[in-house]
Amino acid sequence: MRIVFFGSGAFGVPTLEALVARHEVVLVVSQPDRPAGRGKVMTPTPIATRAAELGLRVVKPEDVNEATMRDEIRALGADAWVVIAFGQKLSRELLDGIFAINLHGSLLPAYRGAAPIQRAVMDGCPETGVSVISLAERMDAGLVYATASQPIGPASTSDEVHDQLSLLGPAVIEDVLARHAAGTLVGALQDESKATRARKLSKSEATIDLAEVDASTARARINGLNSWPGCAVLIGDVAVKLLRVEACAGEGGGPRLPGVFGDGGVIATRSGAIRVIEIQPIGKRAMPIAEFLSGRAKLVGSPVRPMPPAAETR
């Protein structure tokens, strides 16, 4: 099949690679290069970078719905458009008469919106998955053509779940394309009564008061905020990001008071305790908890307090 691929984030890279292996990808449409890193160097999206490596034609419009760009894409006469983490809404005029499908990182109708993977981890969901849907006027509300699911591990971070779910994309997209080509594709309406929203993450969420939550809530929130914006707290007077934790029984000399840093990185919560697995002192690299504690034994017994929140969203 002749495919136009719309994507920007790394979530779509495995599917793009699979489409190139099986089909003719006639064009890749991605977001323009943006400043990144401390030096604010203009950087292409992960999709644009991989597409260039694969020798594909890439365009990076500021507005994909602008008339000239719209006409150029439609004139290609592709059999299907595949949209994954693109970052711009495709207009009705652009989509008119086109078979276009979107890969979304949740089991719809749950977690429609900008941060489905992070919200699923933060909410402590036992599983999540991907859905292939038609494009609709309302966000993520199209017909569901296919789904695939997988469990969320007890210490899994959002970044890990993101990468795992991205690997489910190639098979479900290929299945939908094959059924479309065979004329057997049928979509299912989403149950609107079960629809939930996955709003953008914000730096205002990037901390936690461990004395006010239970262990399962703390574990899910901290792991779900990894890697952005992270979960920043003060252990005594040391500012850190808690990157990965697990719920535990508080054994091994754990603290008796909620919100106090104990031996081995165990912290009691309002109910139960968590053990820090990976931590990052602000401005330094991430490290295992044992390495962090080396030379910082005096922190044991210190209060763990939330950091003042910021307001940036992504």
For residue 236, is pLDDT > 70? yes
Asked whether residue 24 falls in the same domain as residue 131, the answer is yes
**Strand-strand pairing, 41-43 and 34-36:** antiparallel
Give pLDDT, residue 175: 98
In a domain, 169, yes or no: yes
Asked whether residue 21 falls in the same domain as residue 65, the answer is yes
- CATH code where residue 176 lies: 3.40.50.170
In a domain, 313, yes or no: no
Q: Which domain holds residue 123?
A: 2-198
Give pLDDT, residue 214: 96
Give pLDDT, residue 250: 60
Average pLDDT, the chain: 95
Give pLDDT, residue 254: 46
Last residue of a domain, one of 198, 221, 256: 198
Asked whether residue 289 falls in the same domain as residue 168, the answer is no
Rounded to an integer, the average pLDDT of 215-231 is 96
Give pLDDT, residue 37: 83
Last residue of a domain, one of 198, 231, 258: 198
Rounded to an integer, the average pLDDT of 228-254 is 87
Give pLDDT, residue 39: 87
Query: 57-112, pLDDT tens digit by residue?
Result: 999 999 999 999 999 999 999 999 999 999 999 999 999 999 999 999 999 999 99
Give pLDDT, residue 113: 95
Give pLDDT, residue 314: 47
Above pLDDT 70, what percent of the chain?
96
- Indicate the number of domains in the chain: 2
Asked whether residue 192 falls in the same domain as residue 218, the answer is no
Asked whether residue 119 falls in the same domain as residue 142, the answer is yes
- CATH code where residue 219 lies: 3.10.25.10
Query: CA–CA separation, 106 vs 140, rounded Å?
Result: 10
In a domain, 45, yes or no: yes
Asked whether residue 190 falls in the same domain as residue 274, the answer is no
Query: CA–CA separation, 132 vs 113, rounded Å?
Result: 14
In a domain, 311, yes or no: no
Query: 166-181, pLDDT tens digit by residue?
Result: 999 999 999 999 999 9
Give pLDDT, residue 101: 98
In a domain, 312, yes or no: no
CB neighbour list of residue 104: distance below 8 Å, 6 or more residues apart: 112, 116, 130, 131, 132, 133, 140
Query: CA–CA separation, 267 vs 288, rounded Å?
Result: 16
Asked whether residue 136 falls in the same domain as residue 151, the answer is yes
> For the whole model, what pTM was predicted?
0.93
Asked whether residue 180 falls in the same domain as residue 162, the answer is yes
255: amino acid identity, one letter:
P
Give pLDDT, residue 295: 85
In a domain, 229, yes or no: yes
Asked whether residue 9 falls in the same domain as residue 120, the answer is yes
| DSSP secondary structure, 251-297, as one string | TTT--SSTTBB-GGGEEE-SBSEEEEEEEEETTS--EEHHHHHTT-G
